[in-house]
Amino acid sequence: MMSDIAQEVQEQVARIREMMTETTVMFPNRNINFSIYNIILNRAEKAIREQDAVSLVKLLPELQGMD
């Protein structure tokens, strides 16, 4: 189960990073601030590294809601 939640969080992190990259490419002359996104993504990556199941479970819905 732990690997399932960690895998899902990793997929969400990858999805959001890709979305951030695409947005930056689509709007190159805009100053888009992704600081809140980066904070949450860093927390998610730390939880994955530390295999912190509680943090992963808390972060997953937050990541899924980020569009």
- Cα separation, 50 vs 43, whole angstroms: 11
User: What is the overall mean pLDDT for the chain?
Assistant: 93
**Tally of helices (H runs) and strands (E runs) in the chain:** 3, 0
Which pTM does this prediction carry?
0.88
- Sign of the Cα torsion 49, 51, 56, 58 reads negative
> Which pLDDT tens digit goes with each residue over 31-59?
889 999 999 999 999 999 999 999 999 99
Q: How confident is the model at residue 20 (pLDDT cuts 50, 70, 90)?
A: very high
Note the pLDDT of residue 3: 75
